[in-house]
Amino acid sequence: MNEMPDGRMQLTRRVLLGRAAGFSPGAIALASLSSQTAVADPDRISSLAAKARRVIFLTQSGGPSQLELFDAKPDLHRWAGKELPESVRQGQRLTTMTASQKQLVMPSRVRFRKCGESGATISEWLPSLRNVADELCFIKSMYTDQINHAPAMTHLLTGHQLIGRPSIGAWVSYGLGSDNQNLPDYVVMISRMQRPSDQPLYDHYWGSGFLPSKYQGVKLRNSRDPVLYLRNPDGLPPEVRRTMLDGIGNVNAKRYEETGDPEILTRISQYEMSFRMQTSIPDLINTGDESESTFELYGPDSRRAGSYAANCILARRLMERGVRFVQLIHPDWDHHSRLTSWCTARCRDTDQATAALVTDLKQRGLLEDTLVIWGGEFGRGVAGQGNWNSPEAGRDHHPRCFTIWMAGGGIRPGTTIGATDEFSYNVADTPIHVRDLHATVLHLLGINHETLTYRYQGLDFRLTGVEPAHLINGALSG
Amino acid sequence: MHRYRQQNRIPRSAWQIRNPARQFTIALIILSEIAGFGTSANESGLVRADEFRSKILPILAENCFSCHGPDAANRKADLRLDQREDALKVLSLEDPDAGEFLKRITSSDPDLMMPPPGANRKPIHPHDVDLLRRWIGEGAQWSGHWSLSAPVRPTVPGLAPHPIDAFVLHSLNERGLSLSKPASRTTLARRLAFDLTGMLPPKEQIDEFLKSESQDAVEHYIDQLLNSPHHGERLAMWWLDAARYADTDGFQQDATRTNWPWRDWVIEAFNSNMPFDQFTIHQFAGDLIPEANSKSRLATAFHRNHMTNGEGGRDPEESRVDYVIDRTNSIGSVWLGVTLGCCQCHSHKYDPISHDDYYRLAAFFNSIDETGKAGREAGPYLSVESSTVARALEESDRWLQRRSSEEVAAKASAEPRFQQWLKELWQLAAEEPQRLVAWTNLPVAALESTEGTTLTADSEQIIQASGKNPVQDDYRVVIRPGNSRITGIRLEVFPHTSHTQGRFSRGRAGHFVLTDVKVQVREQGSSQVRDLLIDNAVADTSDDPAKYEGYGSIKHVLDDDPRNGWSIRDADQTKPHVAVFALAEPLLLHDTESLVFELRMRSTLGDANMGRFRVSVSDQAGSTVRSVEQAPIDRLREYLSSGASQADLPDHLLQALREQFLADHEAYLTARRNLDLAARQKDEIASAQKVDVMVLAERKDPRATHVLIRGVWDKPGTQVSAGIPSAIGGWTENAAPDRLGLARWLVSEQNPLTARVVVNHFWQMMFGQGLVRTVEDFGVQGEPPTHPELLDWLAVEFVESGWNIRHLLRLMVTSQTYQQTSVISPDLRMKDPENRWLARSHRFRVPSWMLRDNVLSTSGLLNPAIGGPPIRPWQPPGVWEENFMGRFRYEPSQGPAQYRRTIYAFWRRAVAPTFLFDSAQRRVCEVRSNRTNTPLHALTLLNDVGYLEAARAIAEATITQQNSESDRIQKIAERILLRRLNEQELSPLLNTFNSTKLWYQDHPDDALAFLQACNPNDLFVKHSADTHSSDDSAQLAAFVVTAASIYNLDEAITHE
């Protein structure tokens, strides 16, 4: 059985030796603590030097428009309203929403500017992000195989369009374990929105697939129960819970003596951890100890619990506590119509807080070993959906190119990788597939994507799948 | 040492389907006489054929097949090592080390070594190399993979009276191990109940069993469990996971489907012990069998349980192909134990199944009369009127009656308070009539504009915009009402001469578009704000959104979507207008808090920012904040100011005031909400009287099936016709190449896999682990069976018994192997930590669905009804709402419907039931169990309201029966653990009880709150400070806590 590489055993020891009277530690064979749950075999993860220890994935769900945010094509106005040449389109499949419509070019609805010393192009809809441009590495040549939300998001987050694989956070948690014994390894936060979403967020996006369920992302909710079932029932204070756990733990310890089943010791320690989580999670969420300047940095929305901006502050707090993988999900980037009002609304939700997170991590010395990723499941097409010339128009899904950016641990700051053609339609330079992104993320964490595998149904699965994946070398710092 | 004797067939008659235990014993005697001793030891040292399978083939598969296996497309150097004649090209039988094969795998030269450096595989272990060398030297004997040759019934070795024990003892003896002593009666009672019915049976049944010492009692107990209708539910839960059954489509819409009559078909099939071959045939081809009827058609919903994708913009044909693929894969996971998924894109790298084979198999499902659409267009359907609905309807009606009379009573008991309130109103009218007013214009404390509009308030608190006129803007109006209560906000908009054409704004057209509003509370000195939920918005006039690109309706200001909102263009733009927003919950504001009302004007075209407006607040509930009509108390003030008397108060005004009062009266509101819930529940069940179930039916013109290049739906390759993979046995002669033929083949003698795979499923179910641990994979990459002869013996036995499931299960659970203790000695743990050789019983936590069912059963809450439309167990609020941004709401079932078994729980694919922390995902077929042990599980069992309610029920039932506190705790333990606690166990729980009781005696409010929290359905007497002594409440609450502790004991949640 595998030894745990992450110090869990110590936890169990401490719990056993520390807590609850009535235990006779001598009677408990500590050597037998190996749990039945699987942990990645450390031999199989080659010991690359890790540049990042933690990840924040700012997932923008719905397909943000690269044409409005990062991928400036100032010359496109010459093509305004003209049909996209077949030489560019090359039979690209469309969703059935626009399949019957002529592909008339709609130039970007917004102005761009070159920012910072790196000269990255960033839209005027993202004024705050411009201030941290020199920290970021843009990848403008991302592409995916999927054209619809659920399969594309599943692909981005699990490496395969079909449901059933572990999410990237689960893989990382499986591969690296935890630095914090009082919080889950993998935490997910969804921005609180009022608009019923056309694209629901499925729990498999942060699921553990065929990995043991302990690796699945734990959703931090904006409610009285920030983690499901965390809160004691009304009228049951921690004092009573403590005496319950003492009773349960003591009887369980007796049961262990009788049955010799080491799983009971794991159970005792997990019940103890559940008790500690009842303190550690409220502590995490209570941002009352943050200074006023923090809220000013992240913007007015950060005062509203559940907002993207408030979640960005929590993401930083989670990094400070050594949580391995934090995933924020901001929905509603699926701008098929009224691009100007709709897309700017999402920019307003996120821009200041996103930039603040990068700044804040840097100020606190966390950015050097924290990898920050910003991106969605695909991009948007150059053709207008609806009448291209009307304010009503939006853009349809586009898998052949989209932009993401990364910053922090192991990332070369102030760079731009890859380029698209003059229509932001095809990748013109350095194509980067989703699996290349996955391989690079794992690499930065010190994991060889080819050796982090899990045997299921007779096959050795890995995040990057069967096709060869390549590191994005240009994005890596020295 | 002994050798096998000739194989002997067991007399079939003794193993007949309804074989009572006595006949069984006779058969065993015969068996042991004819079987003799046996052993598989091999004295010559030669690598035998079965050792090739179990030892050599796995090494080759693991290290070589991914480049030198069955997949021609990815084969390197044109060399394959999965067939002997090809392999011989690189093997030297005379001098193994001279052969290219051994040279390569022992080389350290990066250019020569195998597996090559780039393959990320470690070199083959020297021990394995030695084995390969010996194998080659002995002639490289070859045989096919074990699972691909048909099982033949082996001779039962040894003298053990039970064939399972005989095989198990035989392999134990070889390792110097033996079976453990039998488990205690109580352990056995719990183990059998979990395995055969998924929960403990009623107390009387257990008592009867525990009382008797005889072996007959065990068999009688087993029969009782097998004949219980809950047995079918238990097996069905396994099958539903395998069948990826759910009540919604999955994907974007995740629309509700009504396939639950199929779930009831499964339960009934198991309860009537339908032979597994028939069970298979009906689900594959219930529409094609000669005796097809609506029931057999219903069975075919198995192959429609896949997810359906109705995402806008998706090509239905792509989805349809996905469904065909999903069905094909389900055959692999559930019947064949072969991973087929990878063959969608390429030939299998390890098992002899080609890309073409895969699409031949898929062809059986390619001509279903379906379009690939989802939601209500996912035909073919079968219209079903289920007989189970009547019961549920009657039950919900009874509950509605109860809630209805509670509502009437609540109204009546509120009447004196209403009269009192009226009196106070009169007094107020007499003394301070100016306070008798629904809406107050509070002084504006601050005004903010995001884009720099100048906002100023006059003495009437009317706010005027001037200065900069940006395209879009957000205004924030801050007020500090002090200590107060707020139920709603009113927004008045005014025309003004400074506006375009004297209308509402300074925009080009003079109109305004309010896209969204928000209400927040800010605490002085705190950095955080909280959002308040507005649950209703009305206006005296709104535009028709269809006329103005989506802008117009007042309702849309609540949806946070800038592409719609409220505007007034068609009504008179020179008159004031009004909108009213109701808070979902009344807000109690402290004097250190301020209220922020935010108006967002972010329409696409913009240039429509409101120019003049006023914000007021109300403390009145009901119609005041939910309509733009005059508020009842304003009407009352006017009525009184006209000098009328109280006695003449017109009925309609009295009624309006009463409604106003009730809308704010918590006790009445609770009764009202409960009534509404009960009414909705009944409506929902009534609508289930006739439902459409997705089933299979062939279309008139069959579709041609093509191999899909790299598995892509619109890249067809060569055409193929329906057929089975040639490596898995031959096709049944004369069988039609349709689903019926396929199903018959699956359960035919030609197929070596199905019986073994299914027997292994049942073995896993009874013993905790399969004989083949990789239940879903019997291929070369899967684990070989720990007891191959036993597996084959059982497979043949299963088939020859007529695929009799109950016979197979009875056979398993009557064995000593099953009935031994799970206690692990240190020695045994060292020798066999994973319990491969079955020297003890497996000890594991039972699945969470059984935990829930078991607390229902042991607490006496269980509603044992079988079948019917889905129910919704307790679940924390907001879980569906979060993932769907409010599109779906979860309303837990009310009344007796809440206490149905988990198999009836509504299963939303996007968000599985939260209390099932270890469940299959129900997205694709799943057959392996998932047994984790995490803090989140502990939290669920400790805090889920369902568990607390059960703890209260069992505590209440016990408290009346017993006198001493110890006796009561023992009584609870006896019901849950089936045994009394010993002193060492009782004392910690007594400590818990005593210190909890002390706490609650000191904190009587906590006790009341806790008892209320354990009473979500109002089943129990409500404790309140007036009706019960605080000692009573503290005592009961402490028992509930103790009962909850016992429910959380490792023993209580473990299959021992």
User: Is B910–A200 a contact, with Cβ atoms under 8 angstroms apart?
Assistant: yes
In CATH terms, the fold of domain B439-630 is Jelly Rolls (2.60.120)
Coil vs helix vs strand at B229: helix
Q: Which residues of A touch B774 (CB under 8 A)?
A: 457-458
Shortest CA distance to B852 belongs to which of B894, B896, B898?
A: B898
Backbone angles phi, psi at B50, to 5 degrees: -70, -25
Contacts of B995 in chain A (CB under 8 A): 240, 243
Tell me how far apart the alpha carbons of residues B350 and B147 are, in angstroms, rounded to a whole number.
13
Q: What is the mean pLDDT of residues A71-91?
A: 91
Phi and psi at residue B2, in whole multiples of 5°?
-130, 160
Q: Is the pLDDT of residue A263 over 60?
A: yes
**Residues of B (225-284) whose Cβ lies below 8 Å from A:** 250-252, 254
| ipTM of this predicted structure | 0.84
Please determine, for residue A32, whether its predicted confidence score (pLDDT) is greater than 50.
no
Predicted confidence (pLDDT) per residue in A280-289, tens digit: 999 999 998 9
pLDDT tens readout for residues A380-400: 999 998 888 888 889 999 999
CB-CB under 8 Å, A194 with B886: yes
Instruction: Give the bridge partners for B593, in sequence order.
Output: B523
In whole angstroms, give the CA distance from residue B317 to residue B323.
Answer: 10
Inter-helix orientation angle B389-431/B651-662, to 10°: 110
Per the CB < 8 Å rule, is A243 touching B991?
Answer: yes
pLDDT exceeds 50 at position A462: yes
Q: Touching check for B1021 and chain A: CB below 8 Å?
A: no
pLDDT along chain B (1056 residues), means of 10: 38 36 37 32 46 80 84 84 86 89 88 83 85 88 85 91 96 94 96 98 95 90 97 97 92 88 98 98 97 97 92 84 92 89 77 88 95 89 96 97 97 95 87 88 93 95 96 94 93 97 96 95 81 93 93 92 93 96 93 94 92 96 93 90 80 93 93 96 96 96 92 89 87 87 94 96 95 88 90 97 98 97 90 91 94 98 97 92 79 96 94 84 69 84 97 91 86 96 97 97 96 93 76 94 98 96
Q: How far apart are CA A323 and CA A180, in angstroms?
A: 6
Query: Per the CB < 8 Å rule, is A247 touching B988?
Result: yes
Which residues in chain B are closer than 8 Å to A243, comparing Cβ atoms? 991-992, 995-996, 999
Q: pTM to 2 decimals? A: 0.83
Q: Virtual CA dihedral for B621, B627, B631, B635, nearest 10 degrees?
A: -150
Alpha-carbon torsion (B166, B168, B174, B177), positive or negative: negative
For an interface test with A, give the residue of B251, B936, B945 to mutate (most A CBs within 10 A). Answer: B936
Of A187, B184, B616, nearest to B192 by C-alpha is B184
What was the pLDDT predicted at B51? 73
B94 Cβ under 8 Å from any chain A Cβ:
no
**CA B340 to CA B355: how far, in whole Å?**
10
* pLDDT above 80 for A328: yes
Whole-angstrom Cα distance, residue B928 to residue B242? 9
Contact check, Cβ <8 Å, A342/B563 = yes
Shortest CA gap B674–chain A (Å)? 21
> What DSSP element (H or E) covers B131?
helix B126-137
How far apart (Å, rounded) are the C-alpha atoms in residues B199 and B506?
71
The Cα–Cα gap between B976 and B966 comes to 15
Domain ranges of chain A: 40-222+305-475, 232-294
> A243-254 pLDDT, tens per residue?
999 999 999 999
The confidence score (pLDDT) of residue A278 equals 94
Q: Tokens representing B1042?
A: 């103790």
Residue ranges per structural domain of chain B? 49-140, 240-386+688-752, 400-437+639-687, 439-630, 844-1056
Tell me the chain B residues in contact with residue A251 when contact means C-beta distances shorter than 8 Å: 981, 985, 988-989, 1049-1051
Contact A35 B1049 (CB under 8 A): no
* Chain A residues touching B934 at Cβ < 8 A: 213-214, 270
Contacts of B955 in chain A (CB under 8 A): none
Tell me whether A202 touches chain B (CB under 8 Å).
Answer: yes
Pair B775, B760: CB distance under 8 Å: yes
Sign of the torsion formed by the C-alpha atoms of B778, B784, B790 and B792:
positive
pLDDT at A18: 31
A&B contacts, CB < 8 Å = 313
Cα torsion B447, B453, B458, B460 to 10°: value is -70
Close Cβ partners of B416 (under 8 Å, ≥ 6 residues apart)? none
**CA–CA–CA angle A261, A264, A267 (5° rounding):** 155
Residue A186 has pLDDT above 90, yes or no: yes
Q: A133-147, A164-178, B304-318, B551-565: which has the minimum mean pLDDT?
A: B304-318
| pLDDT, mean over chain A | 86
Q: Which of B343, B880, B933 to mutate to test the interface with A (most CBs of A within 10 A)?
A: B933
Q: Which two tokens stand for residue A310?
A: 């408030």
Instruction: Find the mean pLDDT for residues A171-181.
Output: 86
Architecture field, domain A40-222+305-475: 3-Layer(aba) Sandwich (3.40)
How far, rounded to the nearest angstrom, does the alpha carbon of residue B1026 sit from its chain's CA centroid?
42
Please report the pLDDT score of residue B244 as a whole number.
92
Question: Kind of pairing, strands A218-220 and A419-420?
Answer: unpaired
Within the 51-90 window of chain A, which residues sit less than 8 Å (CB to CB) from chain B?
none
Nearest to B527 among A22, A274, A290 (CB): A290
Distance from the A415 Cα atom to the nearest Cα atom in chain B, whole angstroms: 31
* CB-based burial label for B739 (10 Å; 0-12, 13-18, 19+): buried
Q: Which A residues in the span 422-451 are in contact with B, Cβ-Cβ below 8 Å?
A: 448, 450-451
Closest CA to B453 of B597, B608, B568: B608
Looking at the predicted structure, is the pLDDT value of residue A5 above 70?
no
